[in-house]
Amino acid sequence: MKFDAESWMLERGRLGGLDCIVISPRAGSPKSLVVLCHGFGAPGSDLVNLAEELVPILAGESPAEASAPAFLFPEGLLDMSEDFGVEGPRAWWRINMARLAELTAAASFDEMRDEVPEGIAEASVALQSCIAHCLSEKQWESATVVLGGFSQGAMLAVQAAGAFDSSKLRGLILWSGALICESDWHAALAGRHGGLDVFQSHGTQDMILPISTGRALRGFLESESMSVDYIEFNGPHTISYESIEGAARLIDRVLQTSVE
């Protein structure tokens, strides 16, 4: 599927209280909405260029086809400009970076896996509202949803998944995430999303959220009976090309089931 300005349109706006960017096919109504949430300290536009990388990998020749997706890139609730000393950084909730560095140095993350960060619930509600407003205002109510993100955005995607009906949520894309909120996530997800299609990737050289945190997340998702396509790549805290390819495979699978 090709990506070009004549076939796709980019819109900036505010939906459900969050500033966001929406990229959608000009022809027809999308069968799925792919929501990608940025990580801690990144600008709201951080993942937007991934649409240009994902679309050409998707099956099909034209976005006019019934299986074309739309993309939603929401901006985190918190303005982190003062913390970072520059304009633009956002976050979904505050992270104690000093403590995270201590845990990383000690390779001890067991205590983190059941922590519930202050602000994650509010961020999840805001994300859900943004998605609901997008589907409603664009008249895409019949579209299925793929939730995903990078790092903090990946963890937010899992948090928000617990609020979705299984008939609406069809997939998770988790780049460099970690297991947190284990008890809460289990209570929210148990028995609700068995068989959910998940793509997860993590770098073996990740010095921010080490590979053990990604493996713990994978184990948790599998314990919830989700179908996890998991890859590890030789790299740092980033989104590798094979991670983009894996996400495209998941989107293709969701699109195929959405048009059946």
What CATH number corresponds to the domain at position 250?
3.40.50.1820
The answer to whether residue 196 is domain-embedded is: yes
pLDDT, residue 194, reads: 87
Domain of 125 in residue numbering reads as: 8-258
Residue 211 CB coordination number (10 Å): 14
pLDDT in tens for each of the 260 residues of the chain?
667 778 899 999 999 999 999 999 998 889 999 999 999 999 999 999 999 999 999 876 555 555 689 999 999 999 999 888 899 999 999 987 667 666 666 566 677 888 899 999 999 999 999 999 999 999 999 999 999 999 999 999 999 999 998 889 999 999 999 999 999 999 999 878 889 999 999 999 999 899 999 999 999 999 999 999 999 999 999 999 999 999 999 999 999 886 54
pLDDT, residue 101, reads: 65
> Look-up: residue for tokens 């994650």?
120
pLDDT, residue 85, reads: 87
The answer to whether residue 36 is domain-embedded is: yes
The answer to whether residue 134 is domain-embedded is: yes
Half-sphere exposure of 205 (CA within 13 A, CB side): 7
Q: Model-level pTM?
A: 0.94
- Let me know: does 24 contact 9? Beta carbons within 8 Å: yes
Tell me the sheet residues that pair with 172: 147, 198
The answer to whether residue 109 is domain-embedded is: yes
The answer to whether residue 3 is domain-embedded is: no
Q: Strand, helix or coil at 15?
A: strand
- Let me know: does 227 contact 195? Beta carbons within 8 Å: yes
> Look-up: residue for tokens 């996530």?
185
The answer to whether residue 157 is domain-embedded is: yes
The answer to whether residue 1 is domain-embedded is: no
The answer to whether residue 54 is domain-embedded is: yes
Count structural domains, the chain: 1
CA–CA separation, 22 and 19 (whole Å): 10
